[in-house]
Homo-oligomer: A and B are copies of this chain.
Amino acid sequence: MSVATVSRVLNNKSNVSDEAVHAVNRAVEKLGYSPNFLGRDLRKSETKRILAIIGSTEESFYNDVLRGMQDACFAQGYDVLIATTRNDPEHEMHLLGMLFSKAVDGAVLLAPKIDSKTILDLSKKYAIAVCLERIDTEGILCVTINNERAGFDATSYLIGKGRKRIGLITTKIRSQSSVDRENGYRLALEKAGIPYDERLVYYGDYTTETGSRAFEEFMKLDSKPDAIFSISDTISLGAMVYAHEHGCVIGKDILFFGFDNIVYSHLFIPRLSTVDQPCYLQGKTVAEKLLANMKSEEPDTSTYMLPHSLILRESTGD
C-alpha cells in the first residue's frame, strides 16, 4: 500500500475503498502511529495554530480573554498557543519570529510592548492583531475598550457623588491604556470645572504596594483627596487596605474606583466599585476578526472598541 493511500485514509478522503480504510486503521492502531505535523504543515504551509503573546500570566483577566480566543479559534479548527514576553519588547519580537518562520499562522498581541510602527509594518506581511490596548497608528486590526471613556465615566461617577478632590493612581509605564484612562480622568475634571492638581496624581506600578504608598502620600497633603480612581483593581485594593488600617471610612470619608473587576475586587469588604471590561468578548472578537482576515483578500484593519460597564459597590457608597 502506498503512502498516498494512507494519507487519503487519514484525511477521510472519499476516493478510497473500505478495505483500505480498515487496513490503515488497524495498522495505525497497532503501531500507535500519529502523523508528523511538521511534514503536513510544511506541505500545506499552514499550522492551524494561533499564537497569543502576553506579558505574563499574572494578570488574571487574561484568562477570560484567552478563553474567548480559544472558543473562537477552536470553532474553526485552530489551536491557541500562549507565549509570555515577560514584558520584554525584545523577547516579544523573538516570539513574533514564530510567525515569520511559519510556526504559527497568526498572532494576537495582548497589550504589546513593541512600538506600533513595527507592528504596522509586520501586519502588512503577517496575520497580526492587537487586543486590550489601543494602537494609535491606523492600519492595525485592534480590539479593545474605550479606555478614555472608561476613565471619564469612573471619574464622572465620583464627581456625581459630590466629590471635588479626586486622586488618580496610575503607572509610570506609559501604556496606551493607562494614558487613555488618565485622559478620561482629566476630561471628566475639566467638564465638571474642577482644576487639575498634579499633587493628586501618583505614578507607580500595578501592585498593591503602589496603592498603599500612593494613599500614604495623599494623606500628607494639606488638602486631601475625597475620592480615588486607580487604573487597576490591585492598586485600589492596596490603597483601600491602607486607608482602612488608618481609620478612614471607605464609602464615606473616601470613595474608591478601580479598574478590571478582578475576582478579589468583591472579596474585601467594603467591596470595590470598578470598571468591568468584556474580557471574554474581546478575546473572542479579536480571534474571529483575525481568522477572517487570514481568509480574506483585503484585511480589516479597524479598531473595535467594545462596551465597558461600571460595577457599583460599597467603595463608592453604593
Q: Which residues of A contact B (CB under 8 A)?
A: 32, 34-42, 45, 47, 49, 56-58, 60, 62-63, 66-67, 70, 79-84, 86, 95, 97-98, 100-103, 125, 208, 234, 237-238, 241, 244-245, 263-264, 267-269
Which residues of B lie under 8 Å from residue A268 when comparing CB positions?
A: 241, 267-268
Which residues of B lie under 8 Å from residue A35 when comparing CB positions?
A: 101
Name 9 interchain pairs, CB-CB below 8 A, sorted by A.
A36-B101, A37-B98, A38-B101, A38-B103, A58-B60, A58-B63, A66-B84, A67-B86, A264-B264
| A234 CA to B267 CA, complexed, in Å | 10
Q: Is the CB of A102 within 8 A of B70?
A: no
Which 9 A-B pairs rank lowest in CB-CB distance, beginning with the nearest?
Answer: A37-B101, A82-B82, A34-B100, A38-B42, A57-B57, A58-B63, A57-B63, A81-B81, A37-B103
Number of copies: 2
Q: Is the CB of B57 within 8 A of A62?
A: yes
Which residues of B lie under 8 Å from residue A40 when comparing CB positions?
A: 101
Q: Is the CB of A84 within 8 A of B83?
A: no
User: B42, B86, B100, B263: which contacts A208 (Cβ < 8 A)?
Assistant: B263
| A34 CA to B101 CA, complexed, in Å | 6
Q: Tell me, rounded to whole Å, the shortest Cβ–Cβ distance linking A48 to chain B.
A: 10
Instruction: Determine the residue in chain B with the shortest Cβ distance to A41.
Output: B38
Instruction: State whether A267 and B245 are in contact (beta carbons under 8 Å apart), knowing that A60-B58, A82-B84, A86-B67 are contacts in the complex.
Output: no
Q: Is the CB of A267 within 8 A of B237?
A: yes
Instruction: Determine the residue in chain B with the shortest Cβ distance to A33.
Output: B100
| A39 CA to B36 CA, complexed, in Å | 12
Q: Tell me, rounded to whole Å, the shortest Cβ–Cβ distance linking A241 to chain B.
A: 6
Q: Tell me, rounded to whole Å, the shortest Cβ–Cβ distance linking A112 to chain B.
A: 18
Which residues of B lie under 8 Å from residue A269 when comparing CB positions?
A: 241, 244-245
Q: Tell me, rounded to whole Å, the shortest Cβ–Cβ distance linking A279 to chain B.
A: 12
Q: Is the CB of A84 within 8 A of B70?
A: yes
Which residues of B lie under 8 Å from residue A39 when comparing CB positions?
A: 42
Q: Is the CB of A70 within 8 A of B45?
A: no
Q: Is the CB of A82 within 8 A of B57?
A: yes
Which residues of B lie under 8 Å from residue A237 when comparing CB positions?
A: 264, 267
Instruction: Determine the residue in chain B with the shortest Cβ distance to A84.
Output: B66
Instruction: State whether A45 and B38 are in contact (beta carbons under 8 Å apart), knowing that A241-B269, A267-B237 are contacts in the complex.
Output: yes
Of the listed residues A103, A208, A245, the one surrounded by the most CB atoms of chain B closer than 10 A to its CB is: A103
Q: Is the CB of A56 within 8 A of B63?
A: yes
Instruction: Determine the residue in chain B with the shortest Cβ distance to A80.
Output: B83
Of the listed residues A70, A84, A237, the one surrounded by the most CB atoms of chain B closer than 10 A to its CB is: A84
| A101 CA to B81 CA, complexed, in Å | 15
Q: Is the CB of A102 within 8 A of B38?
A: yes
Which residues of B lie under 8 Å from residue A67 when comparing CB positions?
A: 56, 86
Which residues of B lie under 8 Å from residue A238 when comparing CB positions?
A: 267
Q: Tell me, rounded to whole Å, the shortest Cβ–Cβ distance linking A259 to chain B.
A: 17
